[in-house]
Structure formats: C-alpha cells, structure tokens
Amino acid sequence: MQKEIIISGFGGQGVLFAGQVIAYAAMDLGQEVTWIPSYGPEMRGGTANCTIVIADEEIGSPLVKHPPYAIALNLPSFDKYEPIMQTGGYLIVNQSMVDRGPKRDDIHTILVPANEIAEQIGDKKLTNMVTVGALLAAMAEISLEALEAALKGHLPTRHQHLLPKNYEALRRGYETAKSQLAVAA
C-alpha cells in the first residue's frame, strides 16, 4: 500500500501543519512516511504546499506526479491540481475560496465550505483541520481517532488548550465529506 497526498494553499492557511499532522498520524500507526514542504519566498499570502507519502514498506520516491488525494485550500491550488489528479482520486476543495465547480468528472471532488465551518467553530485558523477531516472521510488508512491522537501527541504544550476546537473542526469536515460521498454513491 502506498498513498500520496498533496495539500496546497496560501501561506498562513496552515498547509504545512496539516501535512505534518497527517504524517504524524501515519507514523504513529507504524507506517513509513515522507513529508516534503514547499513554499514561496513570502510566507503569508504566498503559495505553500506539501507532499505526504504513506506506505507500509520503504518509500522509493517522495515525488508525486498524479496524486490520488489532494486538498486545495484556494482557487490557484484547485486550478493547479485538478488536472493532474489520478483518475478516481479524491480532491478536497475549500469551497469558501473557490468560485467554480469541478471540470473533471472522473475524480471525486468534495466541496467543503471550510472557512465558514471554521468561523462557526470560532476560529478561522481551523480551516486546514476542517479539510483534513474531509480528507479522512475518503481515506481509509488513517482514522479520525488516529489523527486526533496525533494532534494530542504532537501539538506543543502551549497549544493543547486548542485541541477541543481542532477535534470539532476535524469532525465537521469529516461529516460534510461523508454526506457528499454517500450522495455520490
């Protein structure tokens, strides 16, 4: 088994942290993992993305050309990654930052109003966790509980008080995606 994930958005949207948490969850489950961050020269507002590869044996290459899973937190990321998605793949899209629907019908596009959900929870910085929860609804390799445990285990002590809202963001994204996947089935 090998699964590749790309997460992309603007700097400041928590792209790299979202990838780290997924990588930690997979590592805690005993999987082999690579996590590669990439960001432009300007951290906030510039582009940022990361690639996560999860496998049950040694990973030959961390490069991903046609991801089966991706999260697009903004329109430029949607425009960039939708065309290269693997047929049958799952693309989680932050609908709050995208003004168009999908162009491909051979992939599963899950539109999640992540900004609105995060604001309902009380913190717009939770947008990344909403989309990670949505990704987990499409990905059997990492459970919601495993990701919550990774958050608790790897979040710095000074941020532990944020765990309940992070858990809620994950669950809300998960439920939003599950309902869309059930309708599509």
- Per-block mean pLDDT, blocks of 10 residues, the chain (185 long): 91 89 95 87 71 90 88 95 96 94 94 96 94 94 93 88 94 94 73
For residue 97, the surrounding DSSP H or E stretch is none
Contact 148, 136 (CB under 8 A): no
**Residue 37's domain spans which residues?**
2-184
pLDDT computed for residue 155 by the predictor: 84
d(CA 118, CA 102): 23
**CATH, residue 12:** 3.40.920.10
Q: 7, 49 in Cβ contact below 8 A?
A: yes
* pLDDT at 183 (0 to 100): 75
Total structural domains within the chain: 1
Q: In whole angstroms, how large is the CA radius of gyration of the chain?
A: 15
175/44 Cα distance (integer angstroms): 29
Say what the pLDDT of residue 60 is: 80
